[in-house]
Amino acid sequence: MSNSINKEFEDLIIGYINQTSTIEDLKKIIEKLKQPKNISLFKAYIKINYYSTYIMNQSDTESIIKELKSRISKEEYKAKRTHILLNTLKYAAVFCLIFGLGYYSSINSESLDEPQKIIPKSNDIVLTSDDSKVILEKDDNKTDDKKIISKINLIQKSDQLIYDNNIDIKELVYHSLKVPYGKRFNIVFSDGSKAYLNSGSFIRYPVKFIEDKKREVFLVGEAFFDVTENKNELFIVNSNGINVEVYGTKFNVRNYSEDFNSDIVLVEGSVGINNSEVSELTMLKPGFKGSVDKENFRVETSKVNTKIYTSWIDGEVIFRNETFSQILKKLERLYNVTIINNKNESLDEVFNAAIDVENENIEQVLEYFNKIYNIEYQIFNNKIIIN
């Protein structure tokens, strides 16, 4: 009798791992986990799955039960939605397409039981001086403010820092701004040039550009620059030894530490690209991208649709022919969430998508990939796991 009970429990566990469990199956698992001996058996079997190994390493029994109840809620939600749809279609089959679109919108607004929600982590935007003194920590709860920093008249206006050029500084004094995942921020430099910083970026720059000296800033991450023209003072973006030289122009620089290439996309004007290994400038024309290989420092140029590379400034992110792993990394930056990819076979596949970061949360984005590309995911302990 004992063996038959164990066999039944094993079948339930296997169904859980394969995500074929019914609501009743999941409830049976919860009931059996009330016995301590079954908890050990559950863990032993479930460790054959990478996703579940992660859970076992992170969780106590209470967390396991919570995950099971979450999956039950998700299945009940799906079942209820399907039941309503099928009943309605019996009487309105001729309007099925129109109704389907309206139904999907309305059903999501109902107060039904839903699975766990992702709550993005909250990190402050931090401004520091060269002596590591914290000048400003901005979070979403702070109101607009005007900051007077020693002799520097620095204005914070919403998600923007504005530096005053009319300050008496004869030597270069630097500030550093760190923009965490899930945030974007803008800077107006002392000469009126602008920098739009994307999530997960860091920039170091002078609080005032000194006359007759090159205007140089140091970037890790991604930024769009709108540089005020000054033929006498070169503007340089230095990103880990890769230099972008301009006099007055609009361009985007992306160079995260994990990227294999540094991409410079020119929207307007003219820029030259060089690096610590190659002093010769590679010139770009508007509408072109210069991609610098970080291993051999070779620069390849190609004509591109600049909107794909710059639309993030307005909260729209466009993916074109990108691998799923590349997309997941960007989603982590954009939404400040943790994503564990357990779908290795997707790494060589490329995807196309467009998301509105301002109006779409991470769950809506994941549902899009689920519907269009059949990519399954689960939420556990505020982490997203791709199955």
Phi, psi torsion values for 278, nearest 5 degrees:
-125, 115
Strands 185-188 and 201-206: unpaired
Chain mean pLDDT for the chain: 79
50: pLDDT confidence band, cut at 50, 70 and 90? very low
Contact 266, 251 (CB under 8 A): yes
Please give the Cα distance from 131 to 134 (Å, whole number): 9
pLDDT of residue 46: 62
Per the CB < 8 A criterion, the answer to whether 193 and 228 are in contact is yes
DSSP code string of 120-162: -----EEEEETT--EEEEE-TTSPPEEEEETTEEEEEETTEEE
Q: Which two three-digit tokens encode residue 117? A: 């929600």
Confidence grade of residue 54 (pLDDT, cut at 50, 70, 90): very low
The pLDDT value recorded for residue 71 is 66
Please check the confidence at residue 185 and state whether its pLDDT lies above 90. yes
Residue range 215-255, pLDDT digits in tens = 999 999 999 999 999 988 899 999 988 999 998 899 999 99
- Structure confidence at residue 10 (pLDDT): 76
Residue 145 has pLDDT above 70, yes or no: no
Domains and CATH numbers, the chain: 2-107 (no CATH), 125-306 (2.60.120.1440), 315-386 (3.55.50.30)
Kindly state the percentage of the chain with pLDDT values over 90.
Answer: 38
131-154 average pLDDT score: 62
The answer to whether the Cα torsion of 95, 98, 104, 107 is positive or negative is negative
